Amino acid sequence: MIDVYSWATPNGHKIHIMLEECGYRLHRDWKAIPIDIGKGDQFNSEFLKISPNNKIPAIIDSNGPDGKPIHLFESGAILLYFANKSGRFLPKSLRGKYETLEWLMFQMGGLGPMLGQNHHFRLYAPEPIPYAIERYTNEAKRIYSVIDKRLSQHRYIAGKTYTIADIAIFPWTRGWEKQGMDLKSYPHFERWFTEINERPAVKRGLEVLTALRIPHLDSTAKKILFGHKPTQLPS
């Protein structure tokens, strides 16, 4: 059994989707253990043993590479782990592998952090900061343009086949409207987005833990999420 410590966020959904795409089924092969990041579950001492950076997702696979349990944190590392474990969604050729990895790193090092800041200043900041909103909206437009250009030349992010690069990028772009984007400005991205959104495994992955997530954050949740560790939690 694979234990997935997660929440209904873009990084969490990456792993939910990956597992379903690989043929693992929720409740049969893996279970989702909710880490409510709005309540501070990520600071629990037991969770920190497997995710020392207090971020979701993290996993424990009882059947690791050597037949022994393994725990991992960081969504990119987890995607690579299951790609290698299943033999899927990462090309076998060195060229194809590196082309996939460069776009995975693009998501982890650029797209995710920048769209995260976009969300923060557009939706969650205590007060509007015009400079920050403009800065991160413009950066989001640049990132979407990069993706759109890439997809004008290839069906999928890394080329001809669906890979972990698509799985990593897709959940972060589901909030395109809240990020201030107009899909009509990015027709190739829109084509790709529509196709990925209709994949059965993607639909199943996106349902995981979603019912538990409260749509609107209260002031306490915002403090916990944005840098204030709740003092009542065990160290």
pLDDT tens digits, one per residue of 97-137 = 999 999 999 999 999 999 999 999 999 898 999 999 999 99
Q: How confident is the model at residue 229 (pLDDT cuts 50, 70, 90)?
A: low
For residues 126 and 201, the model is more confident at 201
Residue 160's CB: how many other CB atoms inside 10 A? 10
Domain boundaries, the chain: 2-88+203-225, 94-199
Residue 2 phi, psi dihedral angles, 5° rounding? -110, 125
Interval 68-86: pLDDT, tens? 999 999 999 999 999 999 9
**How confident is the prediction for the chain on average, in pLDDT?**
94
Distance of alpha carbon 81 from alpha carbon 72, whole angstroms: 9
- Given a cut of 80, whether residue 227 has pLDDT beyond it is no
Q: Is it true that domain 2-88+203-225 has CATH number 3.40.30.10?
A: yes
Lowest-confidence pick of 64-68, 177-181, 215-219:
215-219
Residues in contact with 116: Cβ distance below 8 Å, sequence separation at least 6, in sequence order = none
Asked if 212 and 20 touch (Cβ cutoff 8 Å), the reply is: no
- Given a cut of 90, whether residue 226 has pLDDT beyond it is no
Task: State mean pLDDT over 166-195.
Answer: 97
- Given a cut of 70, whether residue 212 has pLDDT beyond it is yes
Distance of alpha carbon 24 from alpha carbon 8, whole angstroms: 18
Instruction: State the sign of the Cα–Cα–Cα–Cα dihedral 216, 219, 225, 230.
Output: negative
The dotted CATH code for 94-199 is: 1.20.1050.10
- Given a cut of 90, whether residue 216 has pLDDT beyond it is no
Can you give the pLDDT at residue 223? 72
Can you give the pLDDT at residue 228? 56
Can you give the pLDDT at residue 33? 98
